[in-house]
Structure 1
Amino acid sequence: MIRMLLVEDEDKLVASLIKGLRTADIDVEAVRTGREGLERAVEGDHDIMVLDIGLPDQEGFTLLRRLRATGSDLPVIILTARSSAEDTVRGLERGADDYMAKPFVFDELVARIRLRARKPPEEAPVPEGVLVVGSCELDPIARVLTCDGAPIPLSPREFQLAHLLMTRGGEVVPRAEALEHVWGSAARDNVLDVYIRYLRSHLGPHAIETIRGVGYRFVG
């Protein structure tokens, strides 16, 4: 059974989610405030958190930032009425794994919880070898990217996107595939453009080639 932490202050929604998710074999612990959410996320034994942004004591973004600062890799799905592109990017940049806008389809939420919930160690993918494209080398085990021998500091999402592009060995990665692989179906299309700009700011303007109407290619 998946063990979920729900951080939400809307009583009717909490009651509805607890009832529905338990029928889907998802055990729910619910708290109302960001302070309680952070405490239970750090101390508890949960597989995933579903987090509202508009909490009574603090923004959910603040809770998420503080959670990631502890080193926690607990998967987090943001569930909120705030669905602008800016809020989506903000949530994903602070370490969210998925982003759903209210109102939402219950079956879709269940599917995303099952997809994002922390997997047992034996299901973790086998690490790949060092990837080399152009003058860049990426070590997925050490999580280090170097170009021309110099280490490149990347955020977790930037690293994940660079890793995807480099696994293709210079082939084009379609936009839709990159969005789904790195952010899941919650991401807006322009999130990818934002992170491509971030990577180019680190690697140089010509390190990633845009194939208009198709996607991107890492050339190093």
Structure 2
Amino acid sequence: MRILLVEDEPALREGLARQLGTAGYRVDTAADGEDGLYQAREYPFDLLIVDLGLPKLNGVSLIRQLRAGGHDVPVLVLTARGSWQDKVAGLEAGADDYLTKPFEFPELAARVMALLRRALKATSTELHFGNLTIEFARQEVRLAGEICELTAFEYRLLEMLIQQRERVVSKQELSDYLYPHDEDRDSNVIEVLIGRLRRKLDPDGSQPVIETLRGRGYRFVREA
């Protein structure tokens, strides 16, 4: 899953990004509110972590503008100790939860997982699609009870398609999700990954997993 961390304090930003990356998340960062708002509008994220005391554009304004534009991505705000007014302002702007500094990483990780679980509209971190099971907390995929070995990119692609399973996801959206915005992208890689996923998740071709809609994109087709 992809997280945008908007934090102006370099040591905290780099430390959290490293710990979240170790926990299995794809993490993009921004050091000010303007860059954070730009990235949140332009790229598909599953969660935003936003410090309220940001330069150029404060966190409350960032969230308010994002919500005004129709973005419903979950937002966890980071606030200073004792600033209850900031907490209220962040929630009223459209944040989903807050965490007071200083905090321990396990607490942040628990809040992140709770928000992602809520966004997935699931009561647990595990979803079942016939003989296919996805356990998000462990980033584990099982086929008929057996572990299905996926590469990091294959797993991220499957995760994105499952989250957006109510609609067709374009190749461009998948590319934006898989690659940092400052890297070169090759759309052919998406086709290769889709092909590999199909072979791994439906080896005998009897239970389709991903549908291709020519000129439009891809859709996860199994029912939960």
Calculate the TM-score normalised by the size of structure 1. Answer: 0.52
Q: Distance in 2 between matches of 1:33 and 1:112?
A: 22
Percent identity, aligned pairs only, is 46
Q: Give SS of 2:21's match.
A: helix
The residue aligned with 2:90 is 91
The residue aligned with 1:58 is 57
Number of paired residues? 123
Q: Distance in 2 between matches of 1:120 and 1:85?
A: 26
The residue aligned with 1:189 is none
The residue aligned with 2:27 is 28
Q: Which runs of 5+ in 2 are unaligned?
A: 124-224
Q: Distance in 2 between matches of 1:121 and 1:56?
A: 32
Whether the aligned pair in 2 keeps the contact of 1:74 and 1:118 (CA below 8 Å) is no
Q: Distance in 2 between matches of 1:31 and 1:120?
A: 23
- For residue 121 of structure 1, report the CA deviation from its aligned partner: 6.0
The residue aligned with 2:213 is none
1:145-169, Cα deviation, whole Å (9 max, x unpaired): xxxxxxxxxxxxxxxxxxxxxxxxx
- For residue 123 of structure 1, report the CA deviation from its aligned partner: 4.1
C-alpha distance 120-48 of structure 1, shift in aligned 2 (>3 A): closer
> After superposition, where does 1:1-220 map in structure 2 within 5 Å?
2-81=1-80, 83-117=82-116, 123=122
Q: Distance in 1 between matches of 2:117 and 2:41?
A: 14
Q: Distance in 2 between matches of 1:25 and 1:72?
A: 24
C-alpha distance 90-119 of structure 1, shift in aligned 2 (>3 A): closer
Q: Which runs of 5+ in 1 are unaligned?
A: 125-220
Q: Give SS of 2:78's match.
A: strand
- For residue 83 of structure 1, report the CA deviation from its aligned partner: 3.8
- RMSD of aligned C-alpha atoms? 1.9
Whether the aligned pair in 2 keeps the contact of 1:75 and 1:118 (CA below 8 Å) is no
Whether the aligned pair in 2 keeps the contact of 1:3 and 1:47 (CA below 8 Å) is yes
Whether the aligned pair in 2 keeps the contact of 1:47 and 1:118 (CA below 8 Å) is no
Name the aligned partner's letter for residue 51 of structure 2. Answer: D
Q: Distance in 2 between matches of 1:22 and 1:3?
A: 10
C-alpha distance 83-75 of structure 1, shift in aligned 2 (>3 A): farther
Calculate the TM-score normalised by the size of structure 2. Answer: 0.51
Name the aligned partner's letter for residue 27 of structure 2. Answer: V
- For residue 84 of structure 1, report the CA deviation from its aligned partner: 2.3
Q: Give SS of 1:54's match.
A: coil
Q: Distance in 2 between matches of 1:43 and 1:37?
A: 10
